[in-house]
């Protein structure tokens, strides 16, 4: 029986798995999660949690478990995992696909300050806050908060699905626990109620968190946009339907 390993942890990965189950009900699907989220929303399939031990460990898993194809549907900012997937698949001789949702594109009315990484984003905030204190809506995930710990003229509001550890948070940060999707009208009300001056965001793509970008456009609020890391070389598609077509070619 053919076996597909899906590296997931995203809504797009879940949608792909569900579509794959419908299209190929006899296919064995293993959905692999890093395990950082304590209560993720998951499709009904075999779940594997935890790391593989780098590219070598993943290559061994692909060989030992007889994986027919590997689909990397992790977050666009999970650069190391995507690199490991490409390297492991090449080593094991396993077909590999990167399923990555399209990035948001800057539109008229957007006031984006582009940053290559979290450190550069923190530098942009430092420059913007030189003349007056800023209240910052910090939406980069728990793994990206450390560079913002040292900004002296910023108050941070951090929204998270789960409570971050105290050591992860910038000093004095306020935490709002919530799970998307977030509508534009709700985001506009949130930004006003919390007196936000600027948003820091990853270019995650998709619709679940795009409401804050639309709200910022309406309010003419600046957004420090952290660019995506580059993907490794390999086949790339942007939607579940295209990924299904790819699976059909490798089965």
Q: Is the dihedral of CA 22, 24, 28, 33 positive or negative?
A: negative
* pLDDT tens, residue by residue, 3-28: 999 999 888 999 999 999 999 999 99
Interval 181-228: pLDDT, tens: 899 999 999 999 999 999 999 999 999 899 999 999 999 999 999 999
> Confidence class of residue 231 from pLDDT cuts 50, 70 and 90?
confident
How much is the mean pLDDT over the chain? 93
The predicted-structure confidence for 72-87, as pLDDT tens digits, reads as follows 999 999 999 999 999 9
Q: Which fold has domain 111-226?
A: Rossmann fold (3.40.50)
Q: Where in the chain is the domain with CATH 3.40.50.720?
A: 3-102+230-250, 111-226
* pLDDT of res. 36: 62
What is the sign of the dihedral through the CA atoms of 216, 185, 206 and 79? positive
3-state secondary structure of 96: strand
What's the whole-number mean pLDDT along residues 116-129? 96
The CATH number of the structural domain formed by 3-102+230-250 is: 3.40.50.720
Q: Write the CB contacts of 157 (distance below 8 Å, at least 6 apart in sequence).
A: 135, 136, 137, 138, 173, 174, 176, 194, 196
pLDDT per residue as tens digits for the range 134-153: 999 999 988 889 999 999 99
Looking at the chain, the whole-number percentage of residues with pLDDT higher than 90 is 82
pLDDT category of residue 44 using cuts at 50, 70 and 90: confident
Beta strands in the chain (DSSP E): 3-7, 28-33, 46-49, 69-72, 96-99, 111-115, 134-139, 154-160, 174-177, 198-202, 222-226, 235-237
């Amino acid at each position: 029986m053919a076996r597909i390993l899906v590296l997931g942890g995203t809504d797009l990965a879940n949608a792909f798995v569900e579509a794959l189950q419908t299209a190929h009900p006899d296919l064995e699907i293993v959905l692999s999660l890093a395990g950082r989220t304590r209560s993720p929303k998951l499709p009904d399939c075999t779940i594997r949690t935890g790391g593989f031990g780098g590219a070598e460990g993943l290559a061994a898993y692909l060989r030992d478990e007889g994986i027919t194809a590997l689909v990397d549907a992790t977050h666009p900012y999970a650069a190391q995992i995507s690199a490991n997937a490409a390297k492991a698949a090449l080593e094991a001789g396993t077909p590999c696909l990167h399923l990555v949702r399209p990035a948001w594109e800057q539109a008229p009315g957007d006031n984006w300050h582009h940053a290559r990484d979290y450190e550069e984003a923190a530098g942009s905030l430092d420059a913007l806050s030189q003349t007056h204190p800023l209240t910052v809506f910090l939406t980069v995930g728990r793994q990206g908060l450390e560079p913002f710990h040292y900004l002296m003229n910023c108050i941070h509001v951090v929204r998270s699905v789960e409570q971050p550890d105290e050591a992860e948070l910038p000093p004095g940060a306020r935490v709002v626990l919530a799970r998307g999707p977030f509508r534009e009208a709700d985001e506009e009300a949130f930004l006003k109620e919390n007196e936000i001056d600027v948003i820091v965001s990853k270019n995650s793509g998709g619709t679940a968190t795009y409401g804050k970008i639309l709200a910022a456009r309406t309010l003419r609020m600046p957004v420090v946009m952290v660019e995506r890391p580059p993907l490794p070389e390999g086949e790339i598609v942007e939607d579940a339907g295209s990924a299904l077509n790819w699976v059909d070619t490798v089965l």
